[in-house]
Amino acid sequence: MPTPIRTTAKRPLRTQLATLVGALLPLLAALLVTAPAVSARTEASGVVPTATLTEVTDFGANPSNLRMYLYVPDSVTANPAVLVAVHWCTGSGPDMYNGTEYDTLADRYGFVVIYPSVTRSSKCFDVSSPQALRRDGGSDPVGIKSMVDWVTRTYDADTSRVFATGISSGAMMTNVLLGDYPDVFAAGAAFSGVPFGCFATTDGSEWNSACAQGTITRTAQQWGDIARAAYPGYTGPRPRMQLWHGTEDDVLRYPNFGEMIKQWTNVHGVSQTPAVTDTPQSGWTRTRYGGTGDRAPVEAISLEGVGHNLYGNGMAARVLTFFGLDSGGPAPQPQPGACKVTATTSAWNTGLTASLTITNTGPTSINGWRLGFTLPAGQAVTNGWGATYTPASGAVTATNASYNATLAPGASVSIGYQANHTGNSAAPGAFTLNGTACTAG
């Protein structure tokens, strides 16, 4: 077990200081937050304490020497969700902890928060090198993936509920993580970022002026191809994306907002025309693509007259609603459309096989699906086909295979599993597809 180092106490939420820092890279004009000193001591037991920010060392492959900070609430749930919260240039993991509400929200909802922390002099995440822009290529994304793996092993976390969010440099890293590891992250939320690959350089520089100024314009297909090239051959579901940007951003200019919308709508195969547009509060324009609910494939929030330092209290709660981590959020929609599931079982003394047929009864293709159902008491999946089934008992999620991820309107896919039982060999009675209830056939 790696040795954790912890802060002395849980702190109150600090007020952010909106400041521009021009002494290093232009990207250093990001949020600065006052953080308490980290007064640390070694835990001989190697047990990560709860309700306090803790540093974990020796968490796995870490080619760029990131530091890992972890927040585990007292009320952590069984098989918890995992949120990666990524800081801005000149910031740190403790700064992100202090400047956002994710720890207090974790106290309420029981998920675990990872705060990666850069050690290079700029304190900016690597979103530009060729290594960072391909799966397992090296640099910061590999270290962050190791942190996620450490948490999922240590806390038996739900691998279908791993999320990323970030501010400025952290927002760019959120785009990179979702491009490099679409099979790891279920969704992301980027505050003042740029598209995946926009900041790419080949000369070792961390800064791409053309991208920062918003002068790099590509077609949606070109942007989508750049993101897909990070993991060649991957055909599984893609993470949903929430985008936030101020119209007066003078660090990562506002045109990047539209380019990100192009990229992620293309990645999801949905129209660039919003399915719905609304104003959740004064000065905000929210557009949703590929769906109308709180968990559409792509959601974009434009803040009129707001600059680069747009993050404020209350926004994290909206992130959780998009991720589906708040218990009060409305049920998500499929991507988009309706569904029907028929289920039959064939049983013997202590075992059974179940056959499930999923039909997309909506008008639009579903690109990537997760079928949720609850097994009757005493049943446990021993193997399956057509999908990956986790966990083996209780509330189960069946995630599509690479060859059946897309369901055209009216199309069906058949999957199934073998299970043990202790007397009840019935099929599940209710199903959800991407979180929305299906009609039972």
Name the residues annotated as catalytic: 168
Question: Would you tell me the crossing angle of helices 169-180 and 139-155 to the nearest 10 degrees?
Answer: 70
Calpha distance 241→164 (Å, rounded): 10
Calpha distance 312→171 (Å, rounded): 15
Q: Which helix (H) or strand (E) holds 148?
A: helix 139-155
| Contact between 59 and 4 (Cβ < 8 Å) | no
Check whether the bond before 391 is cis (ω within 30° of 0).
yes
What's the Cα-to-Cα distance from 4 to each of 1, 68, 94, 123, rounded to whole Å?
A: 9, 10, 14, 22
Dihedrals φ, ψ of 181, to 5°? -130, 65
DSSP code, position 236: S
User: Does residue 227 sit in helix, strand or coil?
Assistant: helix
Q: Which helix (H) or strand (E) holds 439?
A: strand 439-440
Cross-sheet strand order for the sheet of 387-390: 387-390, 395-400, 370-374, 431-433, 436-437
Calpha distance 216→199 (Å, rounded): 10
Q: DSSP for 286-343?
A: EEEES-SSTT-SEEEEEETT--S----TTHHHHHHHHHT-STTSPPP--SSS-EEEEE
Nearest residue to 311 via CA among 392, 220, 249: 249
Q: Residue 92 CB: number of other CB atoms within 10 A?
A: 21
| Contact between 62 and 2 (Cβ < 8 Å) | no
In 170-234, beta strands by DSSP E: 187-191
Calpha distance 375→395 (Å, rounded): 7
Calpha distance 265→114 (Å, rounded): 27
